[in-house]
Structure formats: C-alpha cells, structure tokens
A and B are shown apart, each in its own frame.
Chain A
Amino acid sequence: MKLLRSFLTGTALLVSFSLTSLPAHASSTDEPIVPIQKSPPPAEPLPPMRPEERGLMIFQQVCSSCHSMERAHYGDMIGLQPSVTALQHWAQQRHAGLESPIASPYPSVAVGKANNGGDYPPDLSHIARTIRGGPDYIRQMLAGYRPVPPGVTLAPNTYYNPIALTHHHKFKMRPPLHEGMITFPDGTKATIPQMASDVTAFLQWADDSHRSTRHFIGTAVLLYFALLGGVLLALWRLLKRTA
C-alpha cells in the first residue's frame, strides 16, 4: 500500500515536471542556447489620460505660475490626480496644504500687475464660464499667438495675439505654451493646439467638475421616472375605466 502510494506520487510529480518543462525542453533542442538578455520589461501600455488630467499637469507647471484658482483647494484636484502624495508635494512647493485655496503666486495685486505688463492675471476658478466666448475662446486664444506683423510695434511685455479679447491684438499674457514643454506620461505629443485643448478641458472641469456624474445621475433619474410614470399611467387608466 505504502509502496503504491509513493509510486503514484512519484509518477504524478514526474508528469507535472515534464509538463511544465516541456516547452523549454523543446526549444532548447531546436535552437542554440542564447544568454538571457537584460532587456527592460516590455513597456506596459500606460493608461490613457483624460484631457482634463493632462490639463491639470499644464496648469500645475505653467498656468499656476501666474494665475490663481482661489475657489478650488489643492485637495480638490484629487478627481484628476489620484495620488495624494503628488498633490501634497505640489501644495508644499507652494507653501500650502491640501486644504488651502490655490492662491495667486503674487503677494499682492500690484506685484502681479508689475510682473505682467500692467494686467493682473485673472482668477481661473470659473473662467471657462465667465469669459466672453467661453471654452472655445480660451482654446483658440491660447494657440492664437502670432509673430508680430510688419508695421506693428509692441510695447515691452506685450505680445501679438489676433484672437485675444484685447486692444488691437496687443496682449499682456506672455505666450504660455511651447512645443514639447511638457512630457505627458501617456505619450501624447505636447503640441500647442493639443495643450490648449487639454488645458481648456481642465478649466471646464474646474468650473463644473460634476458634469459627467450629473449626466449619469440625470439619466438614471429620468429612467426611473419613465418607469414610475408608465406604472402610474397604467393604474390611472385602469381606475378611469372601473370607476
């Protein structure tokens, strides 16, 4: 009995061993042995980023160096940047915490004006809703800087932008976006139109961050009422007939 059992386990082990090593065996017989290459692991396809997530990166690295977003706190960005440590790091760089509003980097309005050719960089909390032209304007304006045409003279700290809502295309915001200035982890090429569109998506999100949730809940609510309404309508017609 004991012998039989040991024999059985032995064969089982053998079978399992031969099964697992079978492909290795087969390849080693057909091809010469090659040394194991220390190649990097195959690049995992990075999760694609939403436009507003890329927009947050641009806001963190570019926009927020002049503009505030007073109504939002650093911690509110958790919807776009799930890493609390990364957000904390960002806030600490700006001598703030997760619970502090994203304040202007300038100590006062006067300093902000002095640094920007006399115009104070506006707060971006609701800019997508309040600015004339809305998101479309922001997207086009950010990509709308052009070389100064001949015959136009610009004052110092003034830039030529035919789309900007300003006097004679002379705009005080220095061109914020440059080709390839940001490396997006998802491999998106940082072209100016791409970044302008991403940062606009982010500003829309910052103005109204519950948009997608709202549409989802709204659809569910309407479906519920459609169902309930159907039942009530059937009941009403039934009562109308009987009574």
Chain B
Amino acid sequence: MNDNTTPSTGWLSTRLPFLRPLCQHMARFPMPPVNLFWTLGACLLVAFGLMFVSGLFLSLHYQPDLSQAFDSVEAIERRVPSGWIIRSIHTGGVSMLFAALYLHVGRGLWYGSYKAPRELVWLSGLFMMLLFMTTAFAGYVLPWGQMSYWGATVITHAVEAIPGIGHGLLVYLLGEDTLGGIALHRFFILHFTLGFIIATVIGLHVLCLHGTGSSNPTLDSPRPDHTTRPFAPFYVVKDCLAVCVFLALFAVLIFFLPDLLGKLDNVILANPLKTPADITPEWYLAPWFAMLRAIPSRLGGLIAAAASLLVLFVLPWLDRSPRHNATYRPLVRAGMGLFFIAFITLILAGMHGATPLWVWLSRGAMLVWFLVFLVLLPVTSYRERQMTGSSTQGETS
C-alpha cells in the first residue's frame, strides 16, 4: 500500500491499474494548514448525496402530472411507508445545502480562493451554483401547491421581459401559453436530470481542485505556515467531525423545526385563479427575487440579477493582486464584510413584502454588490500590485 513502485497484484488493481495510485493520491494529498471553513466542501458533498438519494426515492412515487402531482406528494407524506421522512430530508436538505453552499462561496471570496491558479475551481463551482439554483427552483414547482405555481409563474414570466423574443421564448419553454401540465413535466425532467449533471460537475470541481491543491489561508499573514499534512487521516477525521455537526443541525431542522422553512400556502393545491396574499420565494433564491423587484423595469431587473451572478465569474480577472486573504487586506476586508451584509439584506428583502423600505434597502445592497466587485476589488488589487512592484507575482500561489 505504501510502496508506489510494487506492481499491483490485487484482482481489481490488475484490471484497473489507476485505482491504487488514485487512492494514494487522495490519501496523501498535501493539505495546507486550513481552518474549519475548509470543511464546508465535505458537508456539501454529504448534503448533495442525501438530496440525490432521497430524490431518487421520491421520484419512485411522484407523478409529474397536473392532476396527480399534488395528490402524489400528499400520498408520499401520508401513505408511502417512511415517505414523510424521505421527503422531509429532501425539503429540509435543500436549505442546509444552500446554507453550506453560500458559506462555501463566501469562504472562497474572503480567502481569495478564486485567484490564479484556481480559476477553474472557482468557475466550475460557480457553474455548479447556477445549476443548484435552477434545480432548486425546478424542484420547488413539483409539489404543485399554491406557492409552487405562483412562484414559478412570476419567475418564468421574467423571461418575457427579454425584448423581441421574450413572449415567444416563454411559450417555447413552457410548451403552452401558461404554466400547465407540459411545463410541470418539463420541470420534473429538468430537476431529475440536473441531479446527475451536478454529480458530474462535482467530479470536475474536485478534479480541478486536485490539480492545484487547496489554498493556504496563512500565506499572507505575518508568519506564513508552509507545513502540509497528508489528507488522511487528519483531514478525513476533521471533515467527518464537521459533517457530523452539519448533520446534527440538519436533524434539528427537519425533525424539530420543520415549520421554520415550510411555506403554508404550499399545502394548498395550485389554483391559477387565486393569487396568494404574498408570493415569497424560498430564502436561498430570495436575493435575486429582491433584485428583480428593486428595478422598476422588468428587463432592467433581469439584467441586474443576471449581472450580479456573472460578475462573480470574472472575479479572478478583476482582482489580480498577489494577496489572497481578506483578513490582511484592510479595504477588501471592509468590502467583503459589506458584501456579506448586502447579501443578507437581499435575502431578507426578498422574503418581505415590496414595501418602499425593503425596495430601497435592496437597491442599496445591489449597489454595494456591484461597487465591491467592480470598483473596490480592481482598485485595491491595482494598488497592491503597485506596492509589491510586480504585476506578475499574482500568478504564483
């Protein structure tokens, strides 16, 4: 096991000769002295695994049909043996997954994990975040309750704002003029398929990470720590411990606080003739819903929401400073802090009614979002590069 050069003798190793080197690579993978924020990836992996498995079991009983969808969900809750527990894992898991996902992305922002040479890790991760958001949205439509229907109506009709082709595109995507049986079936296929696509992208994400290795949060500190440890057993145990805490929180959420996240209106069958009093999205999509609402023009809102995500994709090229860790970059530290506050403000704004207060708060938060990424980061990075006197030093990790 420890010797790399001995020829493989096991049955499986003879047939899959790369298996043993791969395991050894994984076990010996050198890890810099990372902190507890680096365990979120493992939590996400576990959360995704739970979502995937529970989703497969749910799909055995779910009927993607206009007249049966709602009843099949009720049947899962009431009659399918253990269906209620599988469904609560799936519906509670999405919140846990997004909480870990946003913390994971936030960690990447704070510690500059997006910088060279880890651009591919960052881009694949962002792409995965978009896939997760799409999957979550499609999944939320499936129970066909009031909030499913009206949330989906509001969001799909944002497509209509695209000039010229908007309405045609919407009808093409929905398969008919309004949100109905064809769209429901498509949402189910989308939700189901994206699960497998995400599984593949997770593989790519980990592959990209293993090309360059984890970033080192101590590099910019006055006393950089260059020691590394092999991934096994220390980081395996550390990740397991974090996963254990994560799953305990998960259990508290689904077993003791199920009403915290459940929308009341979604236990009522969708009724296209009756709009609920307030259409609120799930918290993890609320920031972009708040953006759609904050801009008076529909097209403007759509562009702003899309731009807020796209700006994250160009981050590695906006911030080319050799410094990574925001803790040791005073301006970036303030900027990132403001960005996190803005993000939370947008979540709250999206979940509250469109009162002038919340609309203006979300406008302010959007301004912070774009100013931090488009102005503060490039300017700070330019100054830092001037200070270090070399613009190419950012290429070394």
Q: Which residues on A are within 8 Å of B, measured CB to CB? A: 71-73, 76, 125-126, 129-130, 207, 209-210, 214-215, 217-219, 221-222, 225-226, 228-229, 232-233, 235-236, 239-240, 243
Q: Does B85 sit at the interface, judged by CB under 8 A?
A: yes
Query: B224-243 interface mask toward A, CB cutoff 8 Å, 1 = contact, 0 = none?
Result: 00000100011001101100
Contact of A232 among B79, B241, B265 (CB under 8 A): B241
A240–B36 CA distance with the chains assembled, in angstroms: 14
Q: Does B255 sit at the interface, judged by CB under 8 A?
A: yes
A91–B256 CA distance with the chains assembled, in angstroms: 34
Whether the pair A239, B237 counts as a contact (CB closer than 8 A) is yes
A210–B244 CA distance with the chains assembled, in angstroms: 25
Whether the pair B234, A243 counts as a contact (CB closer than 8 A) is yes
Whether the pair A130, B267 counts as a contact (CB closer than 8 A) is yes
Residues of A close to B259: CB separation below 8 A? 129
A228–B248 CA distance with the chains assembled, in angstroms: 10
What would 12 more interface pairs be, CB under 8 Å, given A130-B265, A229-B244? A76-B78, A130-B264, A209-B78, A214-B88, A214-B258, A221-B251, A226-B248, A228-B244, A232-B244, A239-B233, A239-B237, A243-B234
* Interface residue ranges of B143-187 to A (CB < 8 Å): none
Whether the pair B267, A126 counts as a contact (CB closer than 8 A) is yes
Residues of B close to A210: CB separation below 8 A? 84-85
Residues of B close to A130: CB separation below 8 A? 264-265, 267-268
Residues of A close to B88: CB separation below 8 A? 214
How far in angstroms is the closest Cβ of chain B from A171?
22
Residues of B close to A73: CB separation below 8 A? 78-79
Provide a sorted-by-A list of 6 A–B residue pairs whose CB atoms are within 8 angstroms.
A71-B71, A218-B251, A221-B255, A225-B247, A229-B245, A243-B229
User: Quick one: given A129-B264, A232-B241, A235-B237, are A76 and B79 in contact (CB under 8 Å)?
Assistant: yes
A229–B251 CA distance with the chains assembled, in angstroms: 14
Name the residue on B nearest A127 (C-beta).
B267
Residues of A close to B71: CB separation below 8 A? 71
Residues of B close to A240: CB separation below 8 A? 234
The 6 tightest CB contacts between A and B, nearest first, are A218-B255, A225-B248, A126-B267, A232-B241, A229-B244, A71-B74
Residues of B close to A235: CB separation below 8 A? 237
Interface residue range, chain B:
20 to 34
Whether the pair A236, B78 counts as a contact (CB closer than 8 A) is no
Residues of A close to B254: CB separation below 8 A? 218
Residues of B close to A239: CB separation below 8 A? 233-234, 237
Residues of A close to B229: CB separation below 8 A? 243
How far in angstroms is the closest Cβ of chain B from A109?
13
Contact of B248 among A71, A129, A229, A243 (CB under 8 A): A229
Q: Does B252 sit at the interface, judged by CB under 8 A?
A: yes
Residues of A close to B267: CB separation below 8 A? 125-126, 129-130, 207
Contact of B256 among A125, A209, A218, A236 (CB under 8 A): A218
How far in angstroms is the closest Cβ of chain B from A240?
7
* Interface residue ranges of B45-62 to A (CB < 8 Å): none
User: Main SS of chain B's interface residues?
Assistant: helix
User: Quick one: given A225-B251, A226-B248, A239-B234, are A71 and B241 in contact (CB under 8 Å)?
Assistant: no
Q: Which residues on B are within 8 Å of A, measured CB to CB? A: 71, 74, 78-79, 84-85, 88, 229, 233-234, 237-238, 240-241, 244-245, 247-248, 251-252, 254-256, 258-259, 264-265, 267-268
How far in angstroms is the closest Cβ of chain A from B182?
25
A125–B267 CA distance with the chains assembled, in angstroms: 9
Contact of B78 among A71, A218, A221 (CB under 8 A): A71
Contact of A72 among B78, B244, B245, B252 (CB under 8 A): B78
A149–B183 CA distance with the chains assembled, in angstroms: 54
A221–B251 CA distance with the chains assembled, in angstroms: 7
User: Quick one: given A126-B267, A218-B256, are A232 and B78 in contact (CB under 8 Å)?
Assistant: no
User: Quick one: given A130-B268, A226-B248, are A233 and B255 in contact (CB under 8 Å)?
Assistant: no
Residues of B close to A222: CB separation below 8 A? 248, 251-252, 255
Whether the pair A232, B255 counts as a contact (CB closer than 8 A) is no
Residues of A close to B258: CB separation below 8 A? 214
Name the residue on B nearest A228 (C-beta).
B244
A73–B229 CA distance with the chains assembled, in angstroms: 59
A112–B256 CA distance with the chains assembled, in angstroms: 38
A233–B258 CA distance with the chains assembled, in angstroms: 29
Residues of A close to B248: CB separation below 8 A? 222, 225-226, 229
Name the residue on B nearest A233 (C-beta).
B241
Residues of B close to A129: CB separation below 8 A? 259, 264, 267
Residues of B close to A236: CB separation below 8 A? 234, 237-238, 241
How far in angstroms is the closest Cβ of chain B from A77?
11
How far in angstroms is the closest Cβ of chain B from A148?
32
A217–B250 CA distance with the chains assembled, in angstroms: 13
Whether the pair A215, B240 counts as a contact (CB closer than 8 A) is no
Residues of A close to B265: CB separation below 8 A? 130
How far in angstroms is the closest Cβ of chain A from B384?
34
Whether the pair B241, A229 counts as a contact (CB closer than 8 A) is yes
Name the residue on B nearest A214 (C-beta).
B255
A232–B241 CA distance with the chains assembled, in angstroms: 6
A232–B239 CA distance with the chains assembled, in angstroms: 10
A201–B268 CA distance with the chains assembled, in angstroms: 20
Name the residue on A nearest B246 (C-beta).
A225
A207–B247 CA distance with the chains assembled, in angstroms: 26
Residues of A close to B251: CB separation below 8 A? 218, 221-222, 225
Whether the pair A215, B255 counts as a contact (CB closer than 8 A) is yes
A222–B253 CA distance with the chains assembled, in angstroms: 11
Name which of A76, A207, A214 has the most chain B CB atoms within 10 A of its CB.
Answer: A214
How far in angstroms is the closest Cβ of chain A from B240?
5
Name the residue on A nearest B234 (C-beta).
A239
Whether the pair A217, B85 counts as a contact (CB closer than 8 A) is yes
A222–B244 CA distance with the chains assembled, in angstroms: 10
How far in angstroms is the closest Cβ of chain A from B207?
27
Name which of B229, B255, B256, B259 has the most chain A CB atoms within 10 A of its CB.
Answer: B255
